[in-house]
Chain A
C-alpha cells in the first residue's frame, strides 16, 4: 500500500509541472518577437511508477502511477533547415551586396539622358565642326575650349566618383572582415559557456539561440560549415578554413585581409587582390578575388569584392577612353606657327588616364593655340573607329560601358530577387517549425491552466478526505 499522503504528492507534482509548462509558454510569448528565438516546449512525462512491494503481488494489479514531471525543456528546431538556410543566406548576401554596390555605381552615369558624358563628347566634336565653318573665329575657339573643359571635367568627376566607390567597397570589405572576427570571438565565448552548462547537465536553449543568430550573420558574410559536437560546442569553418575551434578554451582564430599579389602586403590599394589569411592555416590563403570573378564562393564578402572588381573594370574603361581622346585629338591637332609652314606640336589635351585628364596648358592659357585649320580633322575623329582596337568610336565605346553597367546591375538585381525568394521560403519553413504562434501559446496556457486547476482540485479533495480521516474519526 502507498502511504496516506501519496495522492497529495501526485497533485503537488501536477501543480509543479503545469506551473513550469505555463512559465515556458509565458517565456515563448514574451519572446514572440525576439530575433532568432526558438520556441520551447516543456516536455511532460509520467514519473517512474511505484510497484507495491508485497508478497501477495496479485492483490494490487500492476503498478501505481506517481504523477508527472517536466523531463526536459525542448528547443523545437530543425537543424537541416539551418544548413539549407545558411547556404541561402550566403547566396542572398552575395547578390544583395553586389546589387547594392552596383546600383550606387549606376547612379554615377546619368544615362540615357541629355546630361551624360556621351552628350559632352558629341558637343565637343560639334564645336570643332562649328570652328571648321569659321576657322579663325575666336568666339568659336573659345566654345571649343569650353566644351573641352566640360568634357575633361566630367570625365575626371566620373572617375573620381568611381574611385570613391572603390575605396568605400574596400573599406566595407575590411569592415566585414572585422565583423567576422568579432562574430568568431562571440561564438567562441558562447561555446565556452555552453560547454560548461552542458557538462553540468543543463540545456542552455537561449544561449543556443544566440549562437545560431551569430551563425546566420556569419553565413551571410561567407560560406560556413558548422559541426555540432556532443559537448554542445560548434566548430565553425569559413571558406573551408577553421574559424571557431572545437576547443573553446584558447579563443577563436582570426582572419586578416592580405594582398598576396604584391607580396603579403595589407589590403589597402585599388589594384590589390583580396586574399584572406586564417590564423588556423596561415600558409594557405583564400583567394576571394578569383572566387568573386568565377562565382565559385558565396557570401557578402565575395559579393562586395566582385562589385569592386567591376568598378575597377569600369575605371579602366574610362581610362582607356581618356587616353584615346588625348592621343587622337593631340595627333590630329598640330599648330602652325609663324613663319608659315613651321608646324609645332600644340597638344590640345594633357594627362594620363581619366584621373588628370585636362586641357593642355597652352590651350588653357591662349586661344590662339587652338588650330582652326585642323578643325575638320579633329571633328572627323568622332566617326573614326578609335577605340577597343579599332572597332568602335569614342561614343560607341562609352555606350558599351554604360550598357555593360546596366547589364551587370540588371543581372545582379534579378539574381538578388531570386536569392531573396529562396531565403524567404526557407525562413518561412524555419518559422513554421521554430516560430512562436501567439494563439498556440495562449491555447497551451489555457490547457495548462485547466490542468493546474485540476491538480489543485485534487489537493482539495484529498484535504477533505484527510480531514474526515484525521479529525472526524478520532473524535
Chain B
C-alpha cells in the first residue's frame, strides 16, 4: 500500500484518541471504584444494580417497620402480662374472700383491694406507647377505656381496626391486640368483660356472700385463660417479626455482596488495565513523534 503523509498523521491521531479514550475509561473506573458508571456501560448489570438497590432500600424500610411493630408487640405483651398479674391477684383475693371465717369488715377490706385491681386494670387498658394508646385500635390518640366503678359501666372510645405494619411485600402484620382483650366488641358500651368480672367480685365481697365469691373463681380463671390466648397470639407475631427481621438482615448482607460484585471495579484488574493502556498510549505517541519528524528533507543537502 502506498503511504501518504496525511495517512500517517491521521492514523496517529486516531490511535492516540482511541488509547486516550480507553485510558480515561480506566481512570474513571479507578477513581469511582465502580465498573458501571452509566447505564450504557453494562445495561443488564445496571438493571440488576438498580433492582438490588431498590430491594435494599425497601428492606431497610421493612426493617424499620418491624422494629416499630416489635415495640408494639413487646409493649402489648408486657401490658397483657400486667393484666394477667392483676387477675391473679384478684383470684387470690377471691380465694381469701371465699373463706367462710372472714368477717364482713374483712370482706369489705378485700373489696377495696379489688377496687385497686380495677384501677390497675384501667391503667393497663389505657396503656400508651410513646403517646399512643395500644388497646384503642387505630384511634391511638385518645384513652380508649372509660371505667366507671360506681355505675359499673365500661365505655370503649377506640375502634376495631387493626394496627398494621407492612413487613414484606403485600404482607402486613397486626401488631396490636385491640380493645377486644377487655371485652370491647365495638365503639360504645362494653357489655361484658374483664372489668365486669372484677365488678362482680367486688360486689360479692361487699355483700359478704362467701358462696358467690367462691363461684366467681371459675369465671376469673376463664378470664385468665382468655388473656393467655391473646398473649399467645401476640407471642407468635413477635416470633414471626423477629424471624423476618433476621431474614432481612441476612438478605442485606447477601444483596450488598451481590451488588458489590456487579458494581465495584476490581481495582487490581483496573490498575493493570490502566497500565497497559498507558503503555499503548505512550507507545503511540512515541512512534508518531519519531515517524512525523522523519522526512526525506533531513537527508537532502
Contact = CB atoms under 8 A, between A and B. Distances in A.
B3 A432 contact: yes
A432 B43 contact: no
A118 B49 CA distance: 12
Contacts of A382: 58
Interface of A is mostly: helix
A432 B39 contact: no
Interface in A421-460: 424, 427-429, 431-439, 442-443, 446
B40 A111 contact: no
Chain A, interface size category, equals: 35 or more
B275 interface: no
B245 to A, nearest CB: 15
A405 B1 CA distance: 42
B253 interface: no
B65 A402 contact: no
B1 A432 contact: yes
Interface string B281-301: 000000000000001110010
A409 B165 contact: no
A119 B56 CA distance: 11
B166 A129 contact: yes
Contacts of A181: none
B138 interface: yes
B31 to A, nearest CB: 15
A424 B41 CA distance: 25
B169 interface: yes
Contact of B164 (A118, A136, A376, A407): A376
B200 interface: no
B6 A439 contact: no
Chain B, interface size category, equals: 35 or more
A128 B65 CA distance: 11
A438 B65 CA distance: 78
A126 B61 contact: yes
Contacts of B89: none
Contacts of B38: 106-107, 111, 406, 409
Contact of B295 (A33, A135, A438): A438
A122 interface: yes
Contacts of A125: 58, 61
Given A431-B6, A439-B296, A409 B166 contact: no
Contact of B46 (A112, A133, A436): A112
Interface of B: 1-7, 10-11, 14, 36, 38-44, 46-47, 49-51, 53-54, 57-58, 60-61, 64-65, 68, 132, 138, 140-141, 164-166, 169-170, 172, 263, 295-297, 300
